[in-house]
Amino acid sequence: MIVPDLHTALDHHFGFAAFRAGQHDALDATLSARDALVVMPTGSGKSLCFQLSALLLADTTLVISPLVALMKDQVDALVARGKRATYINSTLSAEEQQNKLNILARGWYKIVYVAPERLRNAAFLDALKHTRVALLAVDEAHCISQWGHDFRPDYLRLREFADALNRPPMIALTATATPQVQTDIIAQLGLRAPIKIVTGFNRPNLALRVRYTPDDDAKRRELAALLREHTGSAIIYAGTRRGTEEISAFCGEVTRAPAAFYHAGMADDERTRVQDAFMRDKIKIIVATNAFGMGVDKPDIRAVIHYAIPSTVEAYYQEIGRAGRDGEPARVVLLYSPKDRELQEWFIENDAPEPRQVAHLYQILQRAKNWVSPGYLQRATNLNDSKLQLALRQLELAGALKRLGDARGLIGVEVTPNVTLNLAESEAETEKRRAHRRKLLAQIIAYAETNQCRRQFILRYFGDAGNADAPDCCDNHRAATTAPTRRAESAEEWVPLVILETARTLQRQVGTQKLAQILHGSHAQEILQFGYTRHKFYGKLADYRVGEIENVIEQLLKQGYLKTIGGKYPVAQITPLGEETVNTRAAIAIELPRAPSPTARAETHHTRQAGGTVARTLALVQQGKLPAEIAQERDLAISTIYGHLEQLVTEGKVLADQLVPADVREQICAGMREWNGQWLSDLKARLPAAITYEQIRLVVAAEKKK
């Protein structure tokens, strides 16, 4: 066909002045009967690619889309512009459906939207026999891929369906497809040498942030801070239904304004009410599970905050994409705790029906009629909708039933009775899917934990080679501009730098407690064992107690110089902000627990020189000092000093003679002859009360040594 001047057509049909990135290329493809795969984020104008094509092509364009609600909106908008558009789906009465099928068969419509279930509907397929299809548009094309996040078995019928239509040119569109899913879409749909258009993933007005919040307290603190400095509408995504309710109550307290929650467990009308209130600015903050957002096209959402990590980068991108649709600056913040992965892992391990549930469903179906309501099956089997669909598919694969399609809200099945169920294939499929989902989870965790540019991470993830510029890019990028600049001078100001440098240079990363132990110079087994003593800063902060160092580490975490990452055993890692600060040796505003006194500092110095705390005690004994004097000088408990002495006596480095007067020694030795050697208290009871336990211990150690 003759390709018209596309700009004129765009203006004529839609009143738009210019194409957005990718649109022109997509139209070039469809209008010259080439297949195309379009990957562009939500809101970037994918629909226009097939809508304008449809209006310019002579025959009918069929659009497959699973989003029944959006379908109506799009058709209404087209009809309002006087275009011959319609949709055919189960929300229409049987009569209306038939009516439309008749008109479709006459070839009057330019564009017809249907849901994928329709591909199983005989009347529809019949009507198509009389229709010339100019273009088959597959929206939400990732649904065909088992590797996508929203696999729909019905999409697998598409290839056959296209063949039955004499294989019209196809355009597949999706907002979320990794390069792997893109390849899969092409293969599953059988696209022929498609033009690939991957563009528009950079949303420069979204400032990307990750806050490292190791526990719930930290999350609440961070969330409260965000809410206080933030005005405008915000969505907060939580991991669980209960989470949405609790967090919305918390938000209400912080902002002193009502916040709503939203999840799939609520009644439909309640959900609609909440969504409406949010859309009309009656409520500024909505706390929701991922059930919220499909079709939420509110332009002025200023923040999307994730209270926990989502399951995939695709899901995350989709959810943050709801912020700043108006192009004005908006913030997206992920509150990240390494522990969050556990919830996601749980979802993955529980994503499929168990074999006994599939067998149970089979029993129920054998007793049921050919047409059953999904609600009834869900209640009878205790499976949610997606698991029910998977169970039906497993039975289909096992040859136990045939699906007849869906009609009037009922599922049509033809059951083959008494099949011995072999679900091995399904099990293998499930395991494969889980392995894949674990990989996807690892990717979103990598996003959360990276020290690199987050925007580039996302673009690369989707295979978008475009530029990743943005005025306010991400927290990792901001490091250079937000780091402190005054150089550290005093010994106290060096403390945080020493901690950061250690975190940066340790061969094996460690948790916050171990990091403190290393800096303190602890002799704990696991510190000695793994060679941490060889680190240049081992014992560098020996002036401080372990707990005090941990306190400083906490502050560094809170201020974003360090972060905790990892899985079950989180480790402390330096952030770009921390790196920048170490590199410039800048002073960080930290509250030190206490400045060590000059004597304490001298003592630390001597101890290190002597080669440890016991060796230091030995040195003082050799100078002729008494235990009490040593304890005072070293600011240690006398019992600690006696502990050292006992060790020294046992090792033969000190003689009991030096420490215990001769007559006391004799009395103790005499007592020992009648003593069974077990309880020190027995021995003490035989001796004059003036003789102390410490003296007894030293003499006993000396005698044993002999």
Per CB under 6 A, residues contacting ligand ADP are 16, 19-20, 23, 40, 42-48
Spatial neighbors of 89 by CB under 8 A, at least 6 apart, are 68, 71, 113, 114, 115, 118
Q: Which is nearer to ligand ADP, 175 or 333 (CB)?
A: 175
Shortest CB 59 distance to ligand ADP, Å = 22
For tokens 């160092």, name the residue: 549
Task: Write out the H or E segment, with its range, that includes residue 112.
Answer: strand 111-114
Residue 247 tokens read as 């967090």
- Cα dist. 557→211, 243, 281, 676 in Å? 10, 25, 36, 56
Structural contact between residues 444 and 312, judged by C-beta atoms closer than 8 angstroms: yes
What distance in Å separates the CA atoms of residue 599 and residue 596, rounded to the nearest whole number?
A: 8
What distance in Å separates the CA atoms of residue 417 and residue 363, rounded to the nearest whole number?
A: 9
Shortest CB 45 distance to ligand ADP, Å = 3
DSSP string, 318-373: HHHTTTTTTSS-EEEEEEE-GGGHHHHHHHHHTSS--HHHHHHHHHHHHHS-SEE-
Shortest CB 322 distance to ligand ADP, Å = 11
Q: Which is nearer to ligand ADP, 7 or 282 (CB)?
A: 7
Q: Which is nearer to ligand ADP, 299 or 677 (CB)?
A: 299
Shortest CB 29 distance to ligand ADP, Å = 16
Q: Which is nearer to ligand ADP, 48 or 158 (CB)?
A: 48
Shortest CB 153 distance to ligand ADP, Å = 24
What distance in Å separates the CA atoms of residue 23 and residue 557, rounded to the nearest whole number?
A: 45
Q: Which is nearer to ligand ADP, 42 or 575 (CB)?
A: 42
Shortest CB 88 distance to ligand ADP, Å = 20
Structural contact between residues 101 and 88, judged by C-beta atoms closer than 8 angstroms: yes
Shortest CB 469 distance to ligand ADP, Å = 21
What distance in Å separates the CA atoms of residue 473 and residue 456, rounded to the nearest whole number?
A: 10
Q: Which is nearer to ligand ADP, 197 or 334 (CB)?
A: 197
C-alpha gyration radius of the chain: 36
Q: Which is nearer to ligand ADP, 140 or 579 (CB)?
A: 140
Residue 145 tokens read as 């891929």
Residue 191 tokens read as 């696209």
Shortest CB 67 distance to ligand ADP, Å = 10
Spatial neighbors of 215 by CB under 8 A, at least 6 apart, are 337, 339
Shortest CB 63 distance to ligand ADP, Å = 11
Q: How many CB atoms lie within 10 A of CB 528?
A: 11
SS3 letters for 480-509? HHHCCCCECCCHHHHHHHHHHHHHHHCCCC
Residue 397 tokens read as 């694969």
Spatial neighbors of 498 by CB under 8 A, at least 6 apart, are 519, 537, 540, 541
Q: Which is nearer to ligand ADP, 47 or 183 (CB)?
A: 47
Backbone angles phi, psi at 443, to 5 degrees: -70, -45
Shortest CB 140 distance to ligand ADP, Å = 10
- Which residue, among 382, 233, 371, 243, has the nearest Cα to 303 in the 3D structure? 233
Q: Which is nearer to ligand ADP, 48 or 483 (CB)?
A: 48
Instruction: Measure the CA dihedral 544/550/555/561, to 10°.
Output: 100
Residue 14 tokens read as 């839609």
Residue 600 tokens read as 């304490």
Residue 486 tokens read as 């005054």
Structural contact between residues 539 and 521, judged by C-beta atoms closer than 8 angstroms: yes
Q: Which is nearer to ligand ADP, 332 or 691 (CB)?
A: 332
- Cα dist. 223→46, 232, 291, 642 in Å? 34, 15, 21, 51
Q: Which is nearer to ligand ADP, 42 or 476 (CB)?
A: 42
Shortest CB 295 distance to ligand ADP, Å = 10
Shortest CB 100 distance to ligand ADP, Å = 23
Q: Which is nearer to ligand ADP, 40 or 288 (CB)?
A: 40
Q: Which is nearer to ligand ADP, 321 or 560 (CB)?
A: 321
Shortest CB 74 distance to ligand ADP, Å = 7
Structural contact between residues 204 and 470, judged by C-beta atoms closer than 8 angstroms: yes
What distance in Å separates the CA atoms of residue 657 and residue 595, rounded to the nearest whole number?
A: 40
Spatial neighbors of 316 by CB under 8 A, at least 6 apart, are 306, 309, 310, 334, 444, 447
Shortest CB 588 distance to ligand ADP, Å = 44
Task: Write out the H or E segment, with its range, that includes residue 563.
Answer: strand 562-565
Shortest CB 78 distance to ligand ADP, Å = 11
Q: How many CB atoms lie within 10 A of CB 466?
A: 13
Q: Which is nearer to ligand ADP, 200 or 214 (CB)?
A: 200
User: Helical H runs in 117-211?
Assistant: 122-128, 158-164, 179-189
Q: Which is nearer to ligand ADP, 200 or 310 (CB)?
A: 200
Shortest CB 237 distance to ligand ADP, Å = 19
Q: Which is nearer to ligand ADP, 140 or 501 (CB)?
A: 140
